[in-house]
Structure 1
Amino acid sequence: MKRRATSEQGRKDLRRLAALFRPYTGWMAGGCLLALAALLANVGLLAVSGHFIASMALAGAAGVVFNFFTPAALIRAFALVRTGGRYLERLVTHEATFRLLAQLRVWFYERLEPLAPARLQTLRATDLLSRIQADIDTLNQVYLRLFVPLVVAALASVVILAVMALFSVPVALGTALLLSVAGVWLPRWLQRRGAAAGARAVQTRAALRNTVADALGGDAELRVYGAQAHWHARVQAQSETLLDDQRALSGLSGLATGAVGLCANLALWWAVIAVAPAVAQGAIAPAQLAMLALFAMAAFEAVTPLPLAFQMLGEQLAAARRIFAVVDAEPAVSSPVGESPAPVDAGVVFDGVRFRYDASLPWVLDGFDLTLAPGSRTALVGASGAGKSSVLQLLARFWDCQEGRILLGGHTLGEYAPDDARRHIAVVSQDAYLFNGSVLDNLLLARPDADAEAIEAACRTARVHEVIMALPQGYDTPLGESGTRLSGGQARRLAIARALLKDAPILLLDEPTEGLDAATARALYDSLASAMAGRAVLLITHQLGPLAGLVDEVAVLDEGRIVQRGSPATLAAVDGPYRALQDLLG
């Protein structure tokens, strides 16, 4: 029962993959037809060559005239088709493979984006990367290593057996029996034997990547606590498990190769035994014996890839399940059925908002009320864990609140599609990511159609233009992985420039000076002062000193609700939560 359920699930996964591949059916079919033509030409070449050589030998021995022009022409034709067919087959199948790879990756990213960050919290970064890269690469082999061999084997076997039956039905029947053993029974047996090892290998490789990534990321801590040997032993154990599965799969692969070779040789001997009496009786020309024997043996080229293809099916299905397990998750944020409304203004209202990340966890926001008028500048402060960053998560529609409502431009936030809501918001987070591309590439992420004048204006406002121009290639300078060419303060200012380039009416700033020295923080706040002009701004920070003159109002958040509001000077002058927070943060 369990095996039947697993098999049914495997068929469902393969059908889903086939649906994803449908846009490239033409390329896939073209690759299969070219592979079929090359295979049939190779089989025909061997069979005709056997007939030709045997006929020449017999004609020479008997001293009779032999017409060698026709078989010679056939040999040349088969050779040309085989050579050209194999070249074109490699060209087309690899083009199809690359197109399918692009299709899979784009499809996966499109379904991954609505899940971030809420539904991806349980996945580690290395595990997600493993699914994006290694698992999709494994799925990409479904066409080249499973679909093409299966289709070509089925079509080629029919053609080969039909032609063979024209010369000898017994040879065709015997060859058909052995082809079914090598192409049907053996692959199914190998699939059952290799499914567990293949699936386990996929899981072990993913676990091994996580372990190695953890070891590299925490190397300093492992050295301090003397835990390197323990972690090395863990990596070694996972490596041994993976090697055991790979040895098992390699053993099955070797067995399959030997079994197919045995079937091919048995088919050759069967052809000789079946045809020899007819040759002795003069019912069949002697040269046809050699032709049928080589024809029967060559026929197994059609099914040779099948055992390995079905053996790898376990890995492919395991990779498919890992991919589908991610994309089948329900997004935490729902999208409206109709079009998003047009906002009346750039105001934001939080009205009695209650929010928690899981039903088993306490409320992060509990009766949260806050109004951001168009053009206003508000700082949201509070102790760590008070729920400040959660406010930004809700406004950016990464999560939906469970109770209360959030208004954006006079409409509830749930009326907007997530992307439409974010179009009105620019965010500078404390860990704004810079990609391994040029400065210009990173800026254009905010607005791909921005011209040079708009880009320079945003960078000047963020006070990063001079820094960029001092780089070796200016705006075309590669930043390296995570923007390593820039310092922390420069990277933050570039992130601000990117947010300004988006030209959104609402600006959210999450701890923009976190981890920066005092001089860099002051310079960054100077950049922020000009960047805030004309926008509704919500600044989340632990740095209370620079707030005077930077924001109009401060809201103090404690235990999920606003407990004090007012201008920085007013709140600093009276006893209360803001003063206590000042004393706590120094």
Structure 2
Amino acid sequence: MAERRGVIATLAPWLRLLGRRRGRLAAGAGLMSLALAAALGLLALSGWFITATGLAGLALAAGAALTLDVYVPGGGIRGFAVTRTVARYLERLYNHDTILRLLADLRGRMFAVLAGLDGRSLAQRRASDWLNRLTADIDTLDSLFLRLLAPAAVALLAILALAGFLALWSPAAGLSVASVLGVAWSWLTWGQARLGLAASRRRIAELERLRGRLIEQLQGLAELETYGSLAARRRHLETIEARLYDDQRRLGHFAALGSALAGLAVGLGWLSALWLGALAWQAGALSGPLMVMMPLAVMALSEALAALPMAFTQFGATLAAAERLNALDDARRDAAPQTGTSLPDGALALSLEEVSLRYPGALSPVFDGFSLALAPGERVAVHGVSGSGKSSLAALATGQLVPDAGAVGLGGLPLADIAAQDLADRVACLTQHTELFDDSLAANLRLAAPEAETSRLWAVLATVELADWAQALPRGLDTRVGEGGRRLSGGQARRLALARLLLRGPGLVILDEPFAGLDSALAARIAERLDAWLAGRSVLYLVHERTTQACLPGVCRWQALANGAEPAFAPPPGIFQDGAKH
């Protein structure tokens, strides 16, 4: 296990990411400060005004001549009340919008990290674990600004500002309030975080474990019921839930303790301000309204401190989420090539020499001394049954997998020495897994070429015979395809992925069952058009059997894969490889 980093080092990458939106974060913290300042002003001015009018009334009843301007403080009270309401509303609206933008930044960053991981790294964890990274862990990190950094900073600023304000009339009261509330602030942040660190860390790990086991149970419900294992699995889930409840109860106790201490600190603060203010009033150094105003102003700070105990008690969860996401980033950097050699122009040669590959936990290797040579401009078809290693071959050729032994070369260079961006630009792969996003047809196509003009999009759709269909749609290229392309048929989704591939300009093209799900006549027509685009490029076809030979234009050589050792959990070659840049 890697050595655990310090708190600052763990959060540093995410703080830098927050820094990209420092303007919005500063504005959000400003609105938070404004709402708190208005609350302080409202309570302080109200206390002063009520006391002043009461004393003025007593003086007038006693026959004294006295004037009191009620309009200015009355207007001030209304102004503070309206400002507090409006500022609080705008702060919630603006900060939550900022958090949604930050979540988009975080998910975009982590999706790029996952896309950069090789297939072996992806195979080491369940799909539910990767989903948990992109959802639960990212959602946990959204508390970094909204519940931790901003409220703590605003509360500390409010304590210092109020202490300075009170010191204008009573330095002793200002110092006392700063000491009491300063110590309370330290405990409510660092102390509560330390107190709940272990339990909140465990809780996020147990939540991941519960999600993964629950998804597995739902997916295998029929098999578990058939073999009589469902009751045991349920007991296992109940055990995890019990541990979760224990930690949740423990964290609830810690948060309740923090809330009680926050209330106690505010009570001690206003009591000390009242006592010292009374002494100053007794000595004639302070008026009665000011004496009442001081403790009431301190009472308003309970709003600033109330949110800290719960947030910082859960700090361990935020820290654990950051550590897990940092580990992904580290894994991508470790897998990245250390040099940046560029590939030659034109068609690329591909070579695999005595390659051996075994997936973690697999009973047998996928490849054991496998070799393949593809000359520049040559078209080779590799065929084999399901599980024979075709997808793994594509993953090796695109750098998504690193062999246990042997060498993989591209364009006469070792694959490990080629710059990642150059490899992504010069190699295009259509995998069996059609990756489409819940966006428009145009957006899914432009994953391969972000600057592609609309006319070019229509041209590649015409190549795969989707142009007439897309033109007949009410929104044309702006039509959304649904999550995973679920609004399309399997054949349409496959052809859309192939059209996306045609927007690329690679030197090596890998086509894994390019015409799967298409009838033979349509496949033959598309293959004829595809032949012109493939001219001058090296092509590696991956198919199940040689009966598809008629639909593979220009094949000059066939090679069989017969080991049948590829495990069922072998990952696809990459998230973006079916036409988009991998």
Q: Give me the TM-score of the superposition, normalised by structure 1.
A: 0.83
Q: Distance in 1 between matches of 2:225 and 2:482?
A: 28
Query: Is the CA contact 2:156–2:182 (under 8 Å) kept in the aligned structure 1?
Result: no
Q: Distance in 2 between matches of 1:186 and 1:463?
A: 64
* 1:93 CA displacement: 3.2
> Any residues of structure 2 matched to 1:566-585 within 5 Å, and which?
none
Structure 2 counterpart SS, 1:555: strand
Q: Identify the residue that residue 60 of structure 1 maps to in structure 2.
A: 57
Structure 2 counterpart SS, 1:214: helix
Please say which of residues 309-318 and 117-126 is displaced more in the overlay: 117-126
Q: Distance in 2 between matches of 1:513 and 1:338?
A: 35
Query: Is the CA contact 1:489–1:521 (under 8 Å) kept in the aligned structure 2?
Result: no
* 1:451 CA displacement: 4.0
1:246 and 1:527, CA in 2 relative to 1: closer, same or farther beyond 3 A? same
Q: Distance in 2 between matches of 1:507 and 1:311?
A: 53
**Equivalent of residue 86 in structure 1, options 81, 88, 109:** 88
Q: Identify the residue that residue 558 of structure 2 maps to in structure 1.
A: 554
**Equivalent of residue 370 in structure 1, options 370, 373, 394:** 373
Deviation string 1:216-251 (CA, Å, 9 cap, x unpaired) is: 323343344444444444444433433333333233
Q: Distance in 2 between matches of 1:306 and 1:257?
A: 8
Amino acid at match of 1:255: L
Query: Is the CA contact 2:435–2:484 (under 8 Å) kept in the aligned structure 1?
Result: yes
* 1:260 CA displacement: 1.9
* 1:148 CA displacement: 0.9
Q: Identify the residue that residue 31 of structure 1 maps to in structure 2.
A: 28
* 1:447 CA displacement: 2.8
1:67 and 1:342, CA in 2 relative to 1: closer, same or farther beyond 3 A? farther
Q: Identify the residue that residue 568 of structure 1 maps to in structure 2.
A: none
Q: Distance in 1 between matches of 2:405 and 2:262?
A: 66
1:204 and 1:525, CA in 2 relative to 1: closer, same or farther beyond 3 A? farther
Q: Distance in 2 between matches of 1:424 and 1:185?
A: 56
**Equivalent of residue 136 in structure 2, options 127, 134, 137:** 134
Q: Identify the residue that residue 446 of structure 2 maps to in structure 1.
A: 444
* 1:142 CA displacement: 0.8
* 1:510 CA displacement: 1.9
Structure 1 counterpart SS, 2:67: coil
> Any residues of structure 2 matched to 1:508-547 within 5 Å, and which?
508-512=510-514, 520=519, 523-524=522-523, 527-533=526-532, 534=535, 535-547=537-549
1:129 and 1:183, CA in 2 relative to 1: closer, same or farther beyond 3 A? same
CA RMSD of aligned residues (A): 3.3
Q: Indicate yes or no: 2:159 matched with 1:157.
A: yes
Q: Identify the residue that residue 394 of structure 2 maps to in structure 1.
A: 392
1:231 and 1:183, CA in 2 relative to 1: closer, same or farther beyond 3 A? same
**Equivalent of residue 18 in structure 2, options 21, 35, 45:** 21
Q: Identify the residue that residue 8 of structure 2 maps to in structure 1.
A: 11
Q: Identify the residue that residue 41 of structure 2 maps to in structure 1.
A: 44
Q: Identify the residue that residue 321 of structure 1 maps to in structure 2.
A: 323
Q: Identify the residue that residue 355 of structure 2 maps to in structure 1.
A: 354
Q: Distance in 1 between matches of 2:334 and 2:527?
A: 32
Please say which of residues 349-358 and 519-528 is displaced more in the overlay: 519-528
Query: Is the CA contact 1:333–1:400 (under 8 Å) kept in the aligned structure 2?
Result: no
* Structure 1: unaligned runs, 5 residues or longer: 561-586
Query: Is the CA contact 1:354–1:363 (under 8 Å) kept in the aligned structure 2?
Result: no
Structure 2 counterpart SS, 1:538: strand
Amino acid at match of 2:181: L
Please say which of residues 221-230 and 538-547 is displaced more in the overlay: 221-230
Please say which of residues 177-186 and 136-145 is displaced more in the overlay: 177-186
Q: Indicate yes or no: 2:103 matched with 1:106.
A: no
Q: Distance in 1 between matches of 2:397 and 2:418?
A: 11
Q: Give me the TM-score of the superposition, normalised by structure 2.
A: 0.83
Please say which of residues 42-51 and 90-99 is displaced more in the overlay: 90-99
Q: Identify the residue that residue 578 of structure 2 maps to in structure 1.
A: none
**Equivalent of residue 305 in structure 2, options 298, 303, 306:** 303
Amino acid at match of 1:430: Q
1:438 and 1:128, CA in 2 relative to 1: closer, same or farther beyond 3 A? same
* 1:365 CA displacement: 4.9
Q: Identify the residue that residue 194 of structure 1 maps to in structure 2.
A: 196
* 1:531 CA displacement: 2.1
Q: Identify the residue that residue 168 of structure 2 maps to in structure 1.
A: 166
Q: Distance in 2 between matches of 1:21 and 1:549?
A: 51
Query: Is the CA contact 1:507–1:532 (under 8 Å) kept in the aligned structure 2?
Result: no
Deviation string 1:515-568 (CA, Å, 9 cap, x unpaired) is: x5xx836753663354244243222222222326843321234569xxxxxxxx
Query: Is the CA contact 2:379–2:538 (under 8 Å) kept in the aligned structure 1?
Result: yes
Amino acid at match of 2:556: D
Q: Distance in 2 between matches of 1:456 and 1:152?
A: 54
1:437 and 1:33, CA in 2 relative to 1: closer, same or farther beyond 3 A? closer
Amino acid at match of 1:52: F
Number of equivalent positions: 550
Structure 2 counterpart SS, 1:342: coil
Please say which of residues 416-425 and 526-535 is displaced more in the overlay: 526-535
Q: Identify the residue that residue 582 of structure 1 maps to in structure 2.
A: none
Q: Distance in 2 between matches of 1:234 and 1:469?
A: 53
Q: Distance in 1 between matches of 2:465 and 2:274?
A: 87
Query: Is the CA contact 1:190–1:252 (under 8 Å) kept in the aligned structure 2?
Result: yes
Deviation string 1:112-138 (CA, Å, 9 cap, x unpaired) is: 322143322212222111111221121
* 1:476 CA displacement: 4.5
Please say which of residues 19-28 and 362-371 is displaced more in the overlay: 362-371
* Structure 2: unaligned runs, 5 residues or longer: 565-582
Amino acid at match of 2:464: A
Query: Is the CA contact 1:349–1:408 (under 8 Å) kept in the aligned structure 2?
Result: yes
Query: Is the CA contact 2:40–2:301 (under 8 Å) kept in the aligned structure 1?
Result: yes
Q: Distance in 1 between matches of 2:334 and 2:520?
A: 35
Q: Distance in 2 between matches of 1:507 and 1:26?
A: 45
1:284 and 1:383, CA in 2 relative to 1: closer, same or farther beyond 3 A? closer
1:182 and 1:112, CA in 2 relative to 1: closer, same or farther beyond 3 A? same
**Equivalent of residue 215 in structure 2, options 213, 216, 240:** 213
1:125 and 1:166, CA in 2 relative to 1: closer, same or farther beyond 3 A? same
Structure 2 counterpart SS, 1:322: helix
* 1:143 CA displacement: 0.7
Q: Distance in 1 between matches of 2:74 and 2:487?
A: 67
1:246 and 1:545, CA in 2 relative to 1: closer, same or farther beyond 3 A? same
Structure 2 counterpart SS, 1:302: helix
Amino acid at match of 2:420: P
* 1:368 CA displacement: 0.9
Quick check: which has more Rg, 1 or 2? 1
Q: Distance in 1 between matches of 2:31 and 2:223?
A: 57
Query: Is the CA contact 1:333–1:418 (under 8 Å) kept in the aligned structure 2?
Result: no
Q: Distance in 2 between matches of 1:314 and 1:231?
A: 29
% identity of equivalent residues? 35
Larger relative CO (CA 8 A, sep 6+): 1 or 2?
A: 2
Deviation string 1:341-362 (CA, Å, 9 cap, x unpaired) is: 432x314231635242579985
1:232 and 1:481, CA in 2 relative to 1: closer, same or farther beyond 3 A? farther
Q: Distance in 2 between matches of 1:339 and 1:351?
A: 19
* 1:146 CA displacement: 0.9
Amino acid at match of 1:21: L
Amino acid at match of 1:106: G
Q: Identify the residue that residue 567 of structure 1 maps to in structure 2.
A: none
Q: Identify the residue that residue 276 of structure 1 maps to in structure 2.
A: 278
* 1:483 CA displacement: 2.6
Query: Is the CA contact 2:35–2:84 (under 8 Å) kept in the aligned structure 1?
Result: yes
Deviation string 1:66-85 (CA, Å, 9 cap, x unpaired) is: 33255345435544543454
Q: Distance in 1 between matches of 2:478 and 2:228?
A: 44
Q: Distance in 2 between matches of 1:256 and 1:448?
A: 51
